A and B are shown apart, each in its own frame.
Chain A
Amino acid sequence: MNKEIIFSMNTAFRGEFNIHGYSYGRGDKAACIVGSMRGNEYQQLYMCSLLAQRLAEIEAQGDVVAGKEILLIPTLNYSSMNAEKKKWISDDSDINRSFPGNIEGTATSRIAATLMDRVKDYTYGIQFASFYLQGISIPHVRMMETGTESTSLANLFGMPYVLTGDTRSFDTATLNYNWQKMGTQAFSVYSATTDTLDGESAKMAVSAVLRFLTRMGIIRYESHGGYISTTLKEKDLVSVRADEAGFFRCIVGVNQEVKRGQVLAEIINPMDGNIKAEVLAPTDGIVFFVQNSPLVFQNVVIYKIVRRMHQ
């Protein structure tokens, strides 16, 4: 393992801020894995720590294929994690809305530009991303529909689902989008959580990455074959909203099969404890996402269901 400083800057009060990269094996730029970009992405950093441990073992056993290099960048934003802030510590900007970046711009723009320059030549790019809604989701691989995405490659992660989605306006400023535009096959790997640790789904995501690296001929690693992934379009997920605001009492959790009309949750009046609304499944299917805040706003998405899917 070789440790390098990818980006460095001085700060006014915290001393030097460095972004570290850890490379395993030497040779062609085969795969790059990027972890947390926001201060609340604890799970994504945890996944990197598990992956680092496993890659070090694989390298020590001589099982990184000769002529291949893997780069792991666990975090771009540990200062925000230390300050318990989601976005960049000094100006609330978002690194994953700053790509491709500008080396003469603001700090997050400089980080994005420097990172892009360092990682742009890798054949495969993997980001441990966080789901845009707060809650628990089924682990999956997501790809943006940029015209260069390959769902057949994404299937090789062996995760339960591969999700493809339209490119939204803000996506063009993300790492994944810019990686793809630079010619890297880019994947976002999602585990179940973001700001809480979930050991099982973290292991699943790490195993998926190792499985993918094995199948791409980058490492030698015996692992379970994983899932034959089900490929979905994001728009095929049915959103279920809260008709009322109040306490959210979850009855059906993630990855459970439901029938149309089944009670998924109850919304409770915080003042008198009465049930204000029952949340009913609008379709048969499998719960892909469930929100996990104690209180919910009216009209907010609280479930996403894979329509007419069975276990």
Chain B
Amino acid sequence: MIETVVSVDLMVEEELKVKKNHLAPDFPTGEEKRICIVSGLYGDELQGQYICYEVIRRIKLEYENLIGIVDVYPALNPMGLDSKTREIPGSGIDMNSIFPGSKLGALGEYTASCIFDDIKGADVCIDLHASNLYVHEVPQVRMNDDRVDELMPIAKCLNVDMIWIHPSNSVLNGSLAYSLNEVGVRSVVIESGVAYRINQQYCNAIVDGLFALMKEMEIWKGNTVTPKKVPITNDKDIRYINAESSGIFIPGVQLFAQVKKGDELGTVVNVITGAVEEVVYATGDGMICSLRDYPVIEEGSLLARIVGGNAYE
């Protein structure tokens, strides 16, 4: 059933509406577990669009296997998605920084508050993201280090390629996942791919993971995959490779590649002179878990991340 979570008049004629698809068993007992799958906080991140579609499609194919509640919110920032804008158009506010929002707030805060209230009470929320325009990411779950005990069982179901545990003090407390965890809704963020694109391979793996999680939560009784055995990493296991020159980055490796310290990762070239400005090398052993996708770079641009250390032993 399609429901409108929030509706706000825009300046001229239109209304901003955030909708969800509420999927529940035909004969609910009132004891069902509830999962919320949300996406589109950033208007340039489209991975979640495919994932939401595919989750709903698979549930509708085998509706008899649905024994809990699945609320799917594909577009939390609909104006951003329509206008290919990462933040909320106009105000430029980062929507993932204003939760739990405010009923007395402006467009963004008010919308955030209505969304937050609608999700509150769920058992689990999965916030689907892609990377930004610049860096391609392997499918991964991100969580705070102060929530590991509660969230790790969820993360391990999600069939991603990496679980990254951040220090809690590096996480902005206005994010949806942070705010929901504060009120008892166990929430994790999935990152994958790159902005403005859909990678079906990554998305299908994540959809398989969502069904595995729903089975674990007794929301789904159909067949599911066995999730991949996932490496778990902390910040100390991640090496950041930043550019020390400006120009065009030509990668010499691919995402998921295993590299050794000193291996060449790519070059930064000067287009007008035809010169190589910089040869970029791996600073440690491990897997390329992030790789520059947008070729134009400047000094300091993130070119790659390597996950190594204990995570892959």
Contact between A169 and B299 (Cβ–Cβ < 8 Å)? no
Please name all residues of chain B whose beta carbon is closer than 8 Å to the beta carbon of A86 when the two chains form the complex: 92
Within 8 A of A (CB), among B125-165: 132, 134
Within 8 A of B (CB), among A59-94: 86, 90-92
Q: Which of A8-16, A152-160, A225-233 contacts B (4 or more CB under 8 A)?
A: A8-16
Interface string of A249-286 (1 = CB under 8 A from B): 00000000000000000000011000000000000000
Q: A106-B242, A169-B174, A298-B107 known; A245 and B10 CB under 8 Å?
A: yes
CB distance from A13 to the nearest CB of B (A): 8
Indicate if B311 sits at the interface (CB-CB under 8 A): no
Within 8 A of A (CB), among B54-97: 86, 90, 92, 97
Q: Which of B11, B86, B298 contacts A11 (CB 8 A)?
A: B298
Interface string of B91-117 (1 = CB under 8 A from A): 010000100000011110010000000
Within 8 A of A (CB), among B233-287: 240, 242, 245-248, 271
Q: A11-B246, A12-B246, A12-B248 known; A297 and B107 CB under 8 Å?
A: yes
* Nearest residue, chain A, Cβ from B247: A12
Please name all residues of chain B whose beta carbon is closer than 8 Å to the beta carbon of A301 when the two chains form the complex: 106
Indicate if A296 sits at the interface (CB-CB under 8 A): yes
A239 to B297 Cα, complex, angstroms: 42
Please name all residues of chain B whose beta carbon is closer than 8 Å to the beta carbon of A140 when the two chains form the complex: none
Q: Which of B86, B242, B298 contacts A9 (CB 8 A)?
A: B298
Indicate if A241 sits at the interface (CB-CB under 8 A): yes
Q: Do most interface residues of chain B lie in helix, strand or loop, or is the interface mixed?
A: loop
Q: Which of B8, B173, B298 contacts A12 (CB 8 A)?
A: B298
Please name all residues of chain B whose beta carbon is closer than 8 Å to the beta carbon of A299 when the two chains form the complex: 8, 104-107, 110
Q: Do most interface residues of chain A lie in helix, strand or loop, or is the interface mixed?
A: loop
* Nearest residue, chain A, Cβ from B245: A10
Contact between B296 and A9 (Cβ–Cβ < 8 Å)? no
Please name all residues of chain B whose beta carbon is closer than 8 Å to the beta carbon of A297 when the two chains form the complex: 8-11, 90, 106-107
Please name all residues of chain A whose beta carbon is closer than 8 Å to the beta carbon of B247 when the two chains form the complex: 12
Please name all residues of chain A whose beta carbon is closer than 8 Å to the beta carbon of B301 when the two chains form the complex: 90-91, 106-107
CB distance from B26 to the nearest CB of A (A): 38
Indicate if B313 sits at the interface (CB-CB under 8 A): no
CB distance from B210 to the nearest CB of A (A): 30
Within 8 A of A (CB), among B36-61: none
Please name all residues of chain B whose beta carbon is closer than 8 Å to the beta carbon of A91 when the two chains form the complex: 132, 134, 301
* Nearest residue, chain B, Cβ from A246: B11
Q: Which of A92, A107, A110 contacts B86 (CB 8 A)?
A: A92
Centre residue among A9, A109, A239, A298 by max chain B CB count within 10 A: A298
A106 to B303 Cα, complex, angstroms: 10
* Nearest residue, chain B, Cβ from A86: B92
Please name all residues of chain B whose beta carbon is closer than 8 Å to the beta carbon of A244 when the two chains form the complex: 9
Please name all residues of chain A whose beta carbon is closer than 8 Å to the beta carbon of B90 when the two chains form the complex: 297
Contact between B12 and A107 (Cβ–Cβ < 8 Å)? no
Indicate if A105 sits at the interface (CB-CB under 8 A): yes
Q: A104-B242, A169-B173, A170-B172 known; A245 and B92 CB under 8 Å?
A: no
Q: Which of B92, B246, B248 contacts A10 (CB 8 A)?
A: B246
Q: Which of B11, B173, B300 contacts A110 (CB 8 A)?
A: B300
Indicate if A309 sits at the interface (CB-CB under 8 A): no
Contact between A298 and B300 (Cβ–Cβ < 8 Å)? no
Contact between B298 and A300 (Cβ–Cβ < 8 Å)? no
Indicate if A295 sits at the interface (CB-CB under 8 A): yes
CB distance from A115 to the nearest CB of B (A): 14
Contact between B300 and A109 (Cβ–Cβ < 8 Å)? yes
Q: A9-B246, A105-B242 known; A298 and B296 CB under 8 Å?
A: no
A297 to B97 Cα, complex, angstroms: 20
* Nearest residue, chain B, Cβ from A13: B296
* Nearest residue, chain B, Cβ from A111: B300
Indicate if B302 sits at the interface (CB-CB under 8 A): yes
Interface string of B1-44 (1 = CB under 8 A from A): 00000001111110000000000000000000000000000000
CB distance from A51 to the nearest CB of B (A): 28
Q: Which of B11, B132, B248, B296 contacts A90 (CB 8 A)?
A: B296
* Nearest residue, chain B, Cβ from A248: B11
Please name all residues of chain A whose beta carbon is closer than 8 Å to the beta carbon of B297 when the two chains form the complex: 12
Please name all residues of chain A whose beta carbon is closer than 8 Å to the beta carbon of B245 when the two chains form the complex: 10
CB distance from B308 to the nearest CB of A (A): 18
A9 to B242 Cα, complex, angstroms: 14
Within 8 A of B (CB), among A1-39: 9-13
Q: A12-B247, A300-B107 known; A90 and B9 CB under 8 Å?
A: no
Interface string of A284-305 (1 = CB under 8 A from B): 0000000000011111110000
A105 to B170 Cα, complex, angstroms: 15
| A-B CB contact pairs (8 Å), 9 listed | A12-B246, A91-B132, A91-B134, A92-B86, A105-B300, A169-B97, A271-B12, A298-B8, A298-B10
State the 10 A-B residue pairs at the shortest beta-carbon distance, nearest first: A295-B11, A300-B106, A107-B300, A245-B9, A9-B299, A298-B9, A106-B300, A297-B107, A10-B246, A12-B246
